[in-house]
Structure 1
Amino acid sequence: MHNATIKKELLLAPLVGVALLLTPMAYAAAPGITGPAFNLTAQQAYLNQPDGEAVYSWGYGCSGTPAGFAPTITGQICPTMQVPGPTLIVTEGASVTVQLTNNLPTAAGNTSILFPGFNVTATGGVTGLLTQEAAPGGTVTYTFTASAPGTHPYYSGTQGDLQIEMGLYGAVIVLPASVPANCNTGYHAQNLIAEGAHGEADFRLAHAAYDHPGSCYDREYLFQWAEMDSRIHHQAEAQVAATVASGVCATAGNPACSLTVQTEPYHPAYFLINGRSMPDLMDPNFASEYPHQPYNANPHMHPGELTLVRTIGQGRWQHPFHEHANHVRILSRDGNLILSSSTTPISYNTPGGTAASGPGLAGVLMFNTDTTPGESFDGIFYFTGRGLNWDPYGHHPGDTADPLASLTCTPDANGYNSSVPTAINFMEWCQDHNKPVQVAPFGDVPGGGPVTLPDPNVFTNGQWYGGTPYLGPDASLRASMKTCVGNPYGTANPANATCTTLNPANTQLNPANERGWAFMWHSHNEREITTNNVFPGGMLMMMLVDSREFQIDESN
């Protein structure tokens, strides 16, 4: 059987899986299967890339019926092969059992799974260098206690330079056994009211990342970084095809039934987040065009939410990833909270909520969240628009034609509008309320402008202004015409109005159903934001910060 025939059979093979269990609380932005018992298989398939390439790969998938699934997406399945592998979601203290069946090509040999950070007991299979391994067609069972909350990797412990590169990796999310009381009160409770008022569900796996009052969050995402050298994959594909065609693997123990893939020198051409590259990673979870890459990397949030960023380095390289709009406060590394050495407890309170105290968190604020191979971290990203020196919701005081003019901003003790969670401008920074950018769309803050601009002499391409800043529900309307102080819609332009063109006519406007900022999140290694050396691609996504009236649907 030649190479093309193998590829055709793999691509046309039915996806064997199970229907999702309709559990109403199973929504999450970190989709996966819930345990504590898991049945996984290792298989071959092809991964679709933005340049049209279908890259031969290996990956873990579901074998049998998983106990649960998150999020609950009607009609979706857990594939028998996916990259990354299924995210295993368990609770702290649970006894976790993972049975692995080796359905890789016989020439690939044995395979296994390592679970770093856990004390694992392996039974069955054959003895390998690092753990018990499943021989071709065989099984091995791993058992461990989910002793540490947080985000953890799992990956092959057999010939890792080849098998991890081919796609045999995934994530374990351990939810804390108990959630601190302050995570269910105060602002976090207000945030749930705000989401519910605009038709959203609660998409969190838990209300806290750890058993710590400083680890509360309001939204979450899981990102797994990896890279791919297609030469290695093509060699593996060709050698598998050759063993099939020659029949050398028909006899057990034949030394010729093996692979001799050269994994060095290493020159990756694809840079992946959750198995996809830009722009594919912005498509929905479980999009049909990526049958073996079900997880996307398309984060959304509302202003003021605490967004938990779960990250794992699954490849060979370190990736300097930069989240525009704010630093990320690191909570933990490899499931270990970074705590202060001080013995003085710190009070963690939220507006109007229950105070709790505990040791201080000492994780740094990172401009680049460097992702190290085999290492995971959990961090918090936060954005409100505070200190912009203009009103991001586009209020116009005294303008009765403006639907936003009547919105008020009553500062709480921290300066935010937190008293009415159903308001569009919930968690607005009140100091900038009613400061329209149209008054001075350019210039330094001391002169009334919206930002402190760099010296125009050092601008590469000259001064430019690229798009609307507004989060409000009439953002597209404002972006498409001249807006005037005292007359934002431009239906009539009084002589004394001050007008500014906010957006050129040929610039694409926001979609009719979405309002907000799009902040680029990307690798600071420029090669890694390409796909096969073509920009844009690779490790690049957009964090979309949407106004409250826009429903963020994490069920897809």
Structure 2
Amino acid sequence: MQSQSEVRAGEVPDRSREMMRRLVISALALVGVMAFAASAPAVTLHLIAKEFDKPLPGGGTVKMWGFAQGSWACWNAGGGGNGTAAKAARMASSACTAPLASSPGPRLTVSPSETNVRIRVVNLLDSADGGENISLVIPGQPMPHHGRGNPGPTWTNGSVGKNAGDSGVRRVRSFGRETVVDGGRRQYRWNNGRDNNLRPGTYLYHSGTHPQLQVQMGLYGAITRDAAAGEAYAPPPSYATDYDNEVLVLYSEIDTVLHDSVTSGDYGPGLGTTSTFDYQPDYYLVNGEPFDTKAAATIPGPAVGERTLLRMLNAGFEIHIASLQGLRMQLIAEDGNPYPVARDEYSAILAPLKTKDAILTPAVEGTYALYDGMLNLSNTDGSVGGMLSFLQVGAGTLPPNSAPVAVDDPAYDVHENSILTIAAPGVLDNDSDPDGHPITAVMGAINVANGSLTLNPDGSFDYVPIPATPGVAYVDSFTYRASDGVLDSGSPEATVTISVTVGNNPPVADSQLVTTSEQEAVAITLTGSDLDSDPILYTVTGGGPTNGSLSGVAPVLTYTPDLGFAGSDSFTFRVTDLPYMADSLSDGVVDITVAANQAPIAHVDSASTPQNQGVNFSLTDNDSDPDGLIDVTTVEITKPASHGIVTVNGDGTVTYGPDDDYTGSDSFRYRVMDDDGEWSTNPNGGANTKVRVNINLP
């Protein structure tokens, strides 16, 4: 018999078989658990990239790119995918077009329990308006996973992957995979099953495609995740990171020249703006808006004694220093990385795309200035703005707005026959605002009595005198107020006095254009005017014309061009009124065009005569001159007759006498001048004209 310990080849003992069964069950259970963990539900966030118009503090708008809050309806418009029809459907869907874009984009907040995060991006930028492919990255976080396919980067030739690109000229245009322009979509995922879960901290999200351009255009925002509820980070032993309240401050800038170049198609190699090397911001923003001292406290803050987490982010290209006036803070982290030891500071240096976190605990109510220590506290156009905000603690309020101060202006003088035009700042030049607000001029209660007034908000004005009695001096005036948009200077209003004078008005010389032909004199009568109807004296100045001469007594002159001259000539003259002898405000100019002389046309002639009998006939009757007259006294025989004699009579006619007993045909050639001394040509352009004579038998 076989003993119980014996095992046949190919068989498994019962105990071993059971153990294997349990291992298989355990392995299957573990696989199930792993599969469940990897496919745990993810929190889904939606963003839409689109163009929008950003109002500027000084008036007007600038084109920006920004993110809007997206939705499943937009993401799934057209049935999903990136086909032509699906993209067109998203470009037209109200679910995509209706949400308003902003820069910074929507703040994204991820709860501590959510590590499986996906952000779905729809790109509504229009390539016809300069729009581009975009992508999404979060500096300080792992690169996102895309569900399938190569995670990137994307190269300038459109290929994807670390070994892609053109050999020898490989350049990255995007850190990851792109969301194509004109309605494309892509999902970016941070998944705890792929070891790229979202870390706690304060971060910027922004486009990772052409970032030096697209971030400046506005494709950025803030995303935060706490380590636990009310706990910013898993704290080191030396300090705590719990908080009761939080304040987020995001700095950014706008370079309007760059924005206008991109949206007008003038950005790129060989175009008006080739790169961001000449970046010059015009406007400085806090949380996407300029500071306005006339508004309420810009940032609602904590109550007294509350631990407040101050999240500071810089989406600009320049360094900014977040500086607290009257408060101190404990810096605890930067770029999502906790410090080993908290640092007691009143300011935090923020390099481009830098984030820092601090804890502050205000002890006294009030409004505390939070300003850029780099002193970017105004916009380049002089409008109110800059990186200045106020943190409101408790019931603290901003200092009250003070009214502008308008001061009477020095008297202006104007002649009764002139217009007084005063450029900006005009009446506001000696006015001020205690708070430094820009001010405008507002018409007061008293308008001018003997004139027409146009007062502009920038303080410039135009005044046209309308004298009640011409020739009599008088004083006119008006009042105005200075306004900062909320308060004005009130009463008494500032007064502007205008003294209207009388006296001689200088005469004015009239310029004119004269045309003549080569070697042809032309009469010129100089003209001018005088508001006082005084007699006018005319004087030629500057030595007269260059290519001709003047004769006569001004204002009645004759211009004679130099011999052979054709082209442009000119001379100047001045008018003076009598008896005041006041010169004109400027010299008058007489521009003269001397047209080149055109040669006369001598046409073919013919005559007949009996044998042995002469004949008299005209050569010039059928000749013509395009710009003058034929000088009949200048007829010249250039080739004599072969069978007779030609006699020039000096009046345009000739007498032809045939040789004795000759019959048949004879000919000769001639030319003639015009009254400018130009020799004729025949209709074919030749220098001489043929004349034929027939001698007939009696």
Q: TM-score, normalised by structure 2?
A: 0.40
Q: TM-score, normalised by structure 1?
A: 0.49
The higher-RCO structure (CA 8 Å, 6+ apart) is 1
